[in-house]
Amino acid sequence: MKVTVFGSGYVGLATGACLADAGNQVVCVDVDEDKIALLNDGGMPIYEPGLDAIVAGSREAGRLSFTTDIAQGVDHGEVLFIAVGTPPDENGSADLKYVLSVAHSIGQHLNGFRVIADKSTVPVGTADLVAAAVTEELVTRGFAADPEERIRLGQPDFTVVSNPEFLKEGAAVADFSRPDRIVIGADNTTSGRRGLELMRYLYAPFTLNRDRTMVMDVRSAELTKYAANAMLATRISFMNELANLAEDLGADIELVRRGIGSDPRIGYSFLYAGTGYGGSCFPKDVSALRRSAAEHGRSLRILEAVEDANTAQKEVLGRKIRGRFGDDLSGLTFAVWGLAFKPNTDDMRDAPSRVLIADLIGRGARVRAFDPVAMEEARRVLALDLDGAHDALTFAGSANEAVEGADALVIVTEWKAFRAPDFSVLATRLTKKAIFDG
């Protein structure tokens, strides 16, 4: 099939590349000229294991291309994915300006029947707003506002479906290629049913051994994405709260995790205690879901607690350090292993390391940091976080270099490379011989 993906960020690039890898003709459209130039030159704007090889292979095979030409994208695709960012607004709700900008652009260039698939994480009711934006542009161009009338007259027509993504950063290729479910929300209209069949056909290669497609109405599909992320965030915050209690009680949270995870009603996924969740999804999606509920007069009290617990958890390592060395950390140097919010990504959005490093430096300490992948992005965001305190932060070329002459080591991100350090080496390099493991 011919597919266009609007947005070449994490979701858009992974979607486009994996669909092209399956044999489809894919065009990725983005307004960022530098990003498109980078992709056309064989570069990658993000780090995601295995994605670079798929992008390169599909480009060489002529199945994947990148452009800033919106008209070309609309003309090319039978299915038009909207996969642009939905950053949090000032009030915590999802900002839909990029989604609706793409919708208006589609309406300006639509020249036949198209399936418009919302791949971005969007609040319930967004499909209606996208449809209204496209229709507004069609009416401006002199076409009928009513879909059935457009069909009768043979005019350009469309349907909007919700097709939320369930990709984990660090495992996007595997998640897309071997999905545990494919959610498609479609209207029970002539155009909606036609769009559903095209979406089923597009995803058929990914469901050959078992049909994982879940068809529902559009609003239910939109809510499913938010509900999934909110549930996972809840599990993380619950285990972090439980870990703090276990420490007070003298219990081992790892043994507790095994004990409760063995219950099939609970399972083991997302039950690891740590320094709190971050990234591009959980923080903004939990906030956006709470905002959506507030707009309907409801308070999601569990999610309020989830956010509060996560905010507090990002301060736990700092409190442990102060408990050992006191509130004034002047003259101390801390090695920090792991900067990205999770392993196998360079994503620094809402990363717990940012809270920790700002706290350490704010109390007079110096920090020597290392991450296997996120160094470049960390330099950018930490420069903004620290403002005038840049001199207190340096970046090491390796994990061992970071601990050379440091007083203590703080492990923030659970990269595999940090799982089995040489403790004899650490003992000779850390002057205070202290490790704080997040």
List active site positions.
281
Place of tokens 């000229």: 33
End-to-end CA, the chain: 46
The Cα–Cα gap between 387 and 374 comes to 19
* Contact in structure between 408 and 434 (CB atoms under 8 Å): yes
Burial of 200 (C-beta count, 10 Å sphere; 0-12/13-18/19+): middle
Place of tokens 């965001």: 381
- Coil, strand or helix at 111: coil
Max CA pair span of the chain? 80
Q: Residue 104: CB partners within 8 Å, gap ≥ 6?
A: 133, 134, 136, 137
* Contact in structure between 214 and 220 (CB atoms under 8 Å): no
Find the helix packing angle between 253-261 and 218-249, rounded to 10°. 140
